[in-house]
């Protein structure tokens, strides 16, 4: 593998394995079978992995579509060099849809007013590629059922006028990571009703989709024409209590590393970090690791989490600071390598474990990591003579 980074030497790095992301996409595509398109979601800077890296790797793995949340993310995706099918879905009232439509990105309409804004942004013969979002029970965004008649009728009218073309109809599950939750069946039924209403009015969207990573894996009936995989392409399970990454054949793509910048021997009774929430019960050697909540280390990890140092787990002692954490490490020396979390192949903590220690989800752990840490992208090594 080759490593590419920008900038000088640094104290903390986020190592992103593009090969793992591509392999995860291939694994997921194999799981859903033929006839179903794959959208890899690269919003939020690729869930902390880097949008450009995630997009490039997802395309290499066979993703026909990429997904982002905001219009700015859609334009950033194009600036990375991606030219394939892409969808964005979140915009404020009065947003400038024109530049995104001109960039060939499908935009989402969640209301009649947003549909009109999108149509108004189409000029000079440019036809907006629009996907219609309906609320089926998440109660977050999308047209509610009471508005479907007007929503679909307007979309059909604008399409007939040549302002837009409706390329998709979609929604989003609330509880797909709990496969037995009754809301899943109800939402799927409502979505099928929405499809029937749209078709009855004369709309024939190319893609109907509602499945996120969890539904892709655990609800085959909801795969329709396309599935949207986010957390799973980065090698993490949408619910580790049901199936781990390893169980699903996925490889976590992020490893967070740092370097010990100080090491000292503390006597019994020494307070560690702010507030002395940890006091040594015996002589203890500690290592200072230059990452803190400014780099996305959750403060909830204080006195809970572990890192990997000198071939063994090292407990975090005391409160997580803005720039630093302290770990118990009997053999620590300045300059030692530290793995905060990684795939777990060698015994190091995983993002799933950090999520459990912080009483959150793995999505938050990987997405919030950043700050002053530098991202290093691991790419396939180019063979000599190729």
Tokens of 117: 């804004």
Report how far residue 368's alpha carbon sits from residue 294's, in angstroms, rounded to the nearest whole number. 10
User: 345 CB contacts (<8 Å, ≥6 apart)?
Assistant: none
* 43 carries an active-site annotation: yes
Helix, strand or coil for residue 140?
A: coil
Q: How far apart are CA 242 and CA 227, in angstroms?
A: 20
Q: What is the 3-state secondary structure (H, E, C) of 233-250?
A: HHCCCCCCCCCCHHHHCC
Alpha-carbon distance of 141 to 230, in angstroms, equals: 18
d(CA 233, CA 214): 12
Distance between CA atoms of residues 273 and 346, nearest Å: 29
The single residue of 43, 133, 208, 257 carrying the catalytic annotation is: 43
Among this protein's residues, is 156 annotated catalytic?
A: no
The candidate with the shortest Cα–Cα distance to 338, out of 316, 363, 361, is 316
Cα–Cα distance, 287 to 308 (Å, whole number): 11
- On the 0-12 / 13-18 / 19+ scale of CB atoms within 10 A, 311 is exposed
Cα 20 to the center of its chain, rounded Å: 14
Residue of 156, 234, 274, 374 marked catalytic? 274
Coil/strand/helix, residue 304: coil
Q: Which active-site residues does the annotation give?
A: 43, 274
């Amino acid at each position: 593998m080759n490593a590419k980074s920008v900038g000088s030497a640094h104290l903390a790095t986020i190592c992103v394995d593009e090969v793992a992301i591509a392999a995860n996409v291939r694994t997921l595509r194999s799981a859903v079978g033929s006839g179903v398109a794959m959208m890899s979601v690269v919003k939020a800077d690729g869930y902390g992995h880097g949008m450009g890296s995630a997009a490039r790797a997802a395309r290499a793995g066979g993703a026909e579509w990429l997904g982002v949340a905001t219009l700015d993310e859609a334009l950033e995706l194009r600036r990375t060099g991606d030219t394939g099918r892409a969808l964005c879905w979140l915009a404020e009232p009065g947003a400038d849809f024109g530049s995104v439509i001109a960039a060939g990105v499908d935009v989402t309409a969640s209301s009649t007013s947003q549909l009109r804004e999108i149509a108004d942004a189409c000029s000079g013969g440019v036809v907006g590629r629009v996907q219609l979002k309906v609320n089926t029970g998440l109660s977050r965004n999308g047209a509610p059922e009471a508005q479907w008649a007007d929503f679909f009728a307007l979309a059909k009218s604008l399409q007939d006028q040549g302002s837009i073309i409706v390329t998709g109809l979609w929604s989003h599950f609330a509880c797909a990571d709990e496969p037995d939750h009754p809301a899943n069946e109800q939402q799927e039924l409502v979505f099928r009703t929405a499809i029937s209403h749209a078709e009855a009015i004369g709309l024939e969207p190319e893609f109907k989709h509602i499945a996120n990573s969890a539904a892709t894996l655990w609800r085959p009936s909801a795969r329709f024409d396309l599935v949207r995989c986010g957390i799973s392409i980065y090698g993490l399970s949408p619910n580790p209590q049901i199936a781990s990454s390893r169980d699903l054949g996925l490889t976590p793509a992020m490893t967070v590393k740092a370097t010990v910048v100080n090491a000292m021997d503390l006597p019994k009774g020494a307070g560690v970090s702010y507030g002395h929430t940890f006091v040594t019960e015996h002589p203890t050697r500690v290592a200072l690791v230059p990452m803190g909540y400014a780099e996305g280390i959750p403060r909830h990890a204080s006195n809970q989490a572990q890192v990997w140092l000198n071939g063994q787990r090292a407990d975090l002692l005391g409160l997580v600071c803005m720039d630093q954490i302290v770990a118990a490490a009997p053999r620590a020396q300045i300059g030692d390598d530290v793995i905060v979390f990684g795939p777990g192949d060698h015994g190091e903590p995983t993002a799933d474990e950090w999520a459990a220690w912080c009483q959150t989800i793995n999505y938050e752990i990987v997405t919030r990591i950043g700050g002053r840490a530098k991202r290093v992208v691991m790419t396939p090594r180019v063979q000599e003579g190729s």
